[in-house]
Amino acid sequence: MDYSNRLRFDTIRTLAFGGISGVFAAVGGALTVKPRLIKIQNVTNQPVELTSDGTNVQDYIPANSFTLYDLTANKVTINGAFISEGVIFSVRRPVGVANPTSGAIYITIIYGE
């Protein structure tokens, strides 16, 4: 059986370690697609806090790890929950943690064609 929904990769979003401090910094631009799957890799040497609203901490990603949000990758139709277009993901280092000195944050977006 061949389904008409196919998945595509969006352009990767990146923020190098030098852009990470105690203030939220955007990791790439705003979403222009509705993601089905989001992978956020923290390959820095420090943990980071994540926000999608620019203000509130919504997730914590330890150093040298990743977080995977499988929103609707197994859906065949356009039904399901999606993160809205226009959202900008931002990160900062937690209070009491030094700024990272190596690595970067990478966000991979997979969306339905």
**Contact indicator for 93, 19 with CB cutoff of 8 Å:** no
Q: What is d(CA 99, CA 95) in angstroms, rounded to the nearest whole number? A: 10
Q: What is d(CA 88, CA 57) in angstroms, rounded to the nearest whole number? A: 13
110-to-73, 77, 95 alpha-carbon distances in Å: 8, 15, 31
Domain boundaries, the chain: 7-112
pTM over 0.85: yes
pLDDT in tens, the chain (113 residues): 455 567 899 999 999 999 999 999 999 999 999 888 999 999 999 999 999 999 999 999 999 999 999 877 666 666 667 788 999 999 999 999 999 999 999 999 998 87
The three-state secondary structure class of 14 is: strand
Report the top-level CATH class of 7-112. mainly beta
